[in-house]
Chain A
Amino acid sequence: MRESIIMKIHYGTALAAVALVAVHILMRLTQGFSESLEYDSVIANYKFLPYAGMLEIILILLSIHGFNGLRVILLELKQGKTYEKAVSYGCVVAMIALIAYGSRTIIMVNTGMT
Chain B
Amino acid sequence: MAQTTSLAENMSSSQSITLRIARYNPEHDSTKTFMEFQIQYEKWTTVLEAILDVKKHFDHSVAVRYSCRQATCGSCGMIINGKPRLACFTKISELNSNIITVEPMNNFPIIRDLAVKFERLFDTHHKVKPYLIRDDTEISTNTKEFLQSPEELEQYIQFSNCIKCGLCNSACPTMATDSSFVGPQALAQAYRYVADSRDKGKDDRLKILDDSHGIWRCHFAGSCSQVCPKGVDPAMGIQLLRGYMLGFRS
Check if A75 sits within 8 Å of B213, measured CB to CB: yes
Query: What range describes how many residues of A lie at the interface?
Result: 10 to 19
Least CB distance from B208 to A in Å reads 11
Interface hits, A61-84 → B, CB 8 Å: 72, 75-79, 84
Least CB distance from B146 to A in Å reads 30
Whether B181 is near chain A, meaning CB under 8 Å from some CB there, is: yes
Q: Report A-chain residues with C-beta under 8 Å of the C-beta of B174.
A: 76
Check if A76 sits within 8 Å of B211, measured CB to CB: no
Least CB distance from A2 to B in Å reads 6
Interface hits, A22-43 → B, CB 8 Å: none
Bound CA–CA A75/B177 (angstroms): 9
Bound CA–CA A72/B178 (angstroms): 11
Whether B212 is near chain A, meaning CB under 8 Å from some CB there, is: yes
Least CB distance from B106 to A in Å reads 16
Least CB distance from A86 to B in Å reads 13
Check if B216 sits within 8 Å of A79, measured CB to CB: no
Check if A3 sits within 8 Å of B214, measured CB to CB: yes
Q: Report B-chain residues with C-beta under 8 Å of the C-beta of A3.
A: 210-212, 214, 216
Bound CA–CA A75/B178 (angstroms): 8
Q: Report A-chain residues with C-beta under 8 Å of the C-beta of B17.
A: none
Whether B127 is near chain A, meaning CB under 8 Å from some CB there, is: no
Instruction: Tell whether A76 pairs with B246 under 8 Å between CB atoms, given A3-B210, A3-B216.
Output: no
Whether A7 is near chain B, meaning CB under 8 Å from some CB there, is: yes
Query: What range describes how many residues of B lie at the interface?
Result: 10 to 19
Whether A114 is near chain B, meaning CB under 8 Å from some CB there, is: no
Check if B217 sits within 8 Å of A72, measured CB to CB: yes
Least CB distance from A29 to B in Å reads 32
Looking across the interface, which residue of chain B has its beta carbon closest to that of A78? B177
Whether B245 is near chain A, meaning CB under 8 Å from some CB there, is: yes
Q: Report A-chain residues with C-beta under 8 Å of the C-beta of B214.
A: 3
Instruction: Tell whether A79 pairs with B246 under 8 Å between CB atoms, given A2-B210, A72-B217.
Output: no
Bound CA–CA A75/B213 (angstroms): 8
Best-buried of B178, B210, B212, B246 by chain A (most CB within 10 Å): B212
Interface hits, B130-183 → A, CB 8 Å: 174, 177-181
Check if A8 sits within 8 Å of B177, measured CB to CB: no
Check if A75 sits within 8 Å of B246, measured CB to CB: no
Check if A76 sits within 8 Å of B177, measured CB to CB: yes
Q: Report B-chain residues with C-beta under 8 Å of the C-beta of A79.
A: 178-180, 213
Whether A111 is near chain B, meaning CB under 8 Å from some CB there, is: no
21 contacts between A and B (CB under 8 A): A2-B210, A3-B210, A3-B211, A4-B210, A4-B216, A4-B246, A6-B216, A7-B216, A8-B246, A72-B217, A75-B178, A75-B213, A76-B174, A76-B178, A76-B181, A76-B217, A77-B177, A79-B178, A79-B180, A79-B213, A84-B212
Chain B residues within CB distance 8 Å of chain A? 174, 177-181, 210-214, 216-217, 245-246
Known: A3-B211, A75-B178. 8 other contacts (CB 8 A): A3-B214, A4-B216, A72-B216, A72-B217, A75-B213, A76-B177, A76-B181, A79-B180
